[in-house]
Amino acid sequence: MKVALIDYGAGNLHSLRKALEVGGAEVDTTTDWNRALSAAALVLPGVGAFGAAVEALGGEASRVQAALQDGYPCLGICLGMQLLFPESEESAGSGIGLIPGRVRRLRSRIVPHMGWNQVETSDDPLFAGVSPLLAYYANSYVCEPEDPSSVIAWTEYEDERFAAAVRSGRTWAVPFHTEKSSVRGLRIVRNILEEVGSA
């Protein structure tokens, strides 16, 4: 199964690529949206800033949104989750806009949120075999969907409770780093690949 891993032009994608390969995927790291949308699934990684990720969309936001609405499978991780929303407080620019809502800065005393956190999971296939889930975070922003029913997991950091996973059709997104979340993080990646492969 070929999976497209989008390169925003910032950071190291090596660990996420390895996690996908361990899950059984052939990974095409690319900036080309024609190549990306012709793969079996799309991964939006958690590397870089919102503005840079918007630039990497290259004016293709509406095309990507349409593909995801039509059922093209996608996993958004950290920044990749934020990119699925229309906009972010971090910087100007329009995201993919698949999930109505907003991305705002954490209001916690210590920002960024760095380290391991418990996640309250649901029975979504994303979390098969990973409950209880302890996940690794490195984030300064949180996503707030307009529709609470799109939230499939929650977490708490200091005095804030926020979405730890959202789903829209065959698009899943998490604010933590699956590739850094040990065995359970790798299992989440495998779960996504199995969902794509079974369709």
Active site amino acids: 78, 177, 179
Whole-number Å distance between alpha carbons of 22 and 189: 9
Whole-Å CA distances, 171 to 2, 22, 74, 127, 165: 17, 21, 5, 14, 11
Which is nearest to 78 in space by CA: 28, 143, 15, 129? 143
Beta pairing, strands 141-145 & 101-105: antiparallel
Which amino acid is it at 142?
V
Cβ neighbourhood burial of 199 (10 Å; 0-12, 13-18, 19+): exposed
Which is nearest to 175 in space by CA: 147, 142, 127? 142
> Computed from CA positions of residues 77, 92, 142, 112, in that sequence, does the dihedral angle turn out positive or negative?
positive
